[in-house]
Amino acid sequence: MKKFSQLIKTLDGTNKTNVKVAALAEYFTNAPDQDKVWTIAILSHRRPPRPVNTTLLREWASELAHIPLWLFEESYHIVGDLAETIALVVPSDESSTDKSLSAFLQEMIWLKAQSDEDKKAYLYRNWKQLDYYGRFVFTKLITGGFRIGVSQKLMTRALAKATGIDEDILAYKLMGNWDPNTIDFQDLILEEKKSDYLSKPYPFYLAYALENEPESLGDVTEWSFEHKWDGIRAQIIVRNNELFTWSRGEELVTDKYPEFEVFIGRLPNGTVIDGEILPYPNKEIGTFNDLQTRIGRKNVSKALLKKTPVILKAYDLLEWQGEDIRTRPYSKRRNLLEKMVAGQDGIPLFLSEKMEFTSWQEVAEERELSREKRSEGLMFKRKDSPYLVGRKKGDWWKWKVDPLTIDAVLTYAMRGHGRRSNLFTDYTFALWNENEEGEKELVTFAKAYSGLTDAEFRKVDAWIKKNTLERFGPVRSVTPHHVFEIAFEGIAESKRHKSGVATRFPRILRWRKDKKIHEANSLEDLKALIPHTVETE
């Protein structure tokens, strides 16, 4: 497993994509074939089921480290990662000899069925023998979830580099259900199959954010406009009576959105549509919160499908009657798309409404309606533009709405993780509200832990340490004193939140040293920002 540990260490230690790809490609060239298969499985979330639950892992690790469980838990809280905490606190004699990654994973499959006593003995033996990083990786294999910034896309790129096989073909080969314990590298990756080419998507064309006043784009009638929907950008492919759904990360997500299967038979073979996957509960566009329940789920339950179905809002047509039409002007492609979607009743396929304006002023007014329509702003597309590859300036622009902001009072603080673990950098913010007795009180509405400079964090931290009211484990309540401007992208009503409001991507915009706490906003001010849902269909 040394090669695999070294790989994880390299991936974990860098933010540079090219370093990650090079390390993976090197690994996929030199590691034993079956270890490659397991590595692909692990990096594409196909690990074997967890053989030991984390409660037992914590108990046993604290026992082996000769520390009480509460102390282990405190350490875990500060370190922020269970496997890392275990690797740090348990003693080791580093006597291990190298065993392959696949051997370890087979042991873990075996381990699941063993008694607790045998599980404990197995863990003790391995924790003791492995060195620090080996212990970390070994424990991660048990707990699952390497967060090392390797998307399936990035892994596929490295695999393509190592094998010389086209990236999109590899992405297709890796989709669906395959078992790393029974398939070999030859069968999974190397063998050429005819069906591989059917799924191939086109590279997405991405818009730049508008840099100047829209007027600078010239004649408004040369442009088409659409709302910029806040979902998952996707391509839908129907070829040879098969459906493929690709997300913008160029990951194949066909299995995650089974509602699109009905497109087979309804859309002609040789069709590729560029669009946005959107949540559609109660037959209206939902919030990104709704979509979150679908993202990341491999197996979608019937109940979830019913509660949060998705639709595709179609933007553009890239392939028509088996022909690549990306070089035709946008207006022509749009016409073909509109004809194709027209009359398609009863399937989750809708057009993203195309708009035309006679003045830039009208464009600006439409943008103001974005939040109500559950969009992030507007898209501008030049009528005669081809569909380009990647992010290109000139023909497509996005004009997002400004973030929402509100002034809130700092009420609670928690230590950060890792290097920031001795600084209080995770904050809770509150807004004024009138309670039943008519008294004003502060009600929690959001947590935020980014947006200040290191120097500001240090200042706030020092202040918190001197102005703590109460301690609740890692959390401290502080004297209400400081006001911060909080920005967020979206807002929706929520029963799960005490305030009755959920905000999306809250972050600190700035420290309002000029404001006293009574000048902070109220919950009512916040609720006034919730858009009234309007019928969009």
Contacting residues toward another protein, per CB under 8 A: 12-15, 65, 67-68, 70-72, 74-75, 78-81, 84-85, 88-89, 136, 417-423, 458, 465-466, 471
> By C-beta, is 73 or 259 nearer to another protein?
73
Q: Which two tokens stand for residue 156?
A: 């596929």
Specify whether the CB–CB gap between 334 and 351 falls below 8 A: no
> By C-beta, is 80 or 270 nearer to another protein?
80
Q: In the bound complex, what is the minimum distance in angstroms from residue 361's beta carbon to another protein? A: 44
Q: In the bound complex, what is the minimum distance in angstroms from residue 481's beta carbon to another protein? A: 18
3-state SS class at 249: coil
Q: In the bound complex, what is the minimum distance in angstroms from residue 89's beta carbon to another protein? A: 5
> By C-beta, is 298 or 465 nearer to another protein?
465
* Distant-in-sequence, close-in-space partners of 34: CB < 8 Å, separation ≥ 6: 100, 102, 184, 185
> By C-beta, is 74 or 255 nearer to another protein?
74
> By C-beta, is 140 or 313 nearer to another protein?
140
Q: In the bound complex, what is the minimum distance in angstroms from residue 75's beta carbon to another protein? A: 5
> By C-beta, is 383 or 420 nearer to another protein?
420
Q: In the bound complex, what is the minimum distance in angstroms from residue 204's beta carbon to another protein? A: 29
> By C-beta, is 260 or 449 nearer to another protein?
449
Q: In the bound complex, what is the minimum distance in angstroms from residue 79's beta carbon to another protein? A: 6
> By C-beta, is 81 or 168 nearer to another protein?
81
**Sequential DSSP letters for 445-499:** EEEE--SS-HHHHHHHHHHHHHSEEEEETTEEEE-S--EEEEEESEEEE-SSSTT
> By C-beta, is 62 or 385 nearer to another protein?
62
Specify whether the CB–CB gap between 69 and 62 falls below 8 A: yes
Q: In the bound complex, what is the minimum distance in angstroms from residue 62's beta carbon to another protein? A: 9
Q: Which two tokens stand for residue 256?
A: 């995650």
Specify whether the CB–CB gap between 504 and 471 falls below 8 A: no
Q: In the bound complex, what is the minimum distance in angstroms from residue 466's beta carbon to another protein? A: 8
Cα–Cα distance measured from residue 236 to residue 275, given in angstroms and rounded to the nearest whole number: 8
**Sequential DSSP letters for 25-77:** HHHHHHS-HHHHHHHHHHHTT-PPPPSS-HHHHHHHHHHHTT--HHHHHHHHH
Specify whether the CB–CB gap between 144 and 87 falls below 8 A: no
Find the radius of gyration of the CA atoms of the chain.
27
Cα–Cα distance measured from residue 177 to residue 264, given in angstroms and rounded to the nearest whole number: 21
Quote the Cα angle for 160-165-171, to 5°.
70
Provide the sign of the torsion angle of the four alpha carbons 16, 17, 19, 20, taken in this order.
positive
Q: In the bound complex, what is the minimum distance in angstroms from residue 40's beta carbon to another protein? A: 24
Query: H or E segment at 209?
Result: strand 208-209
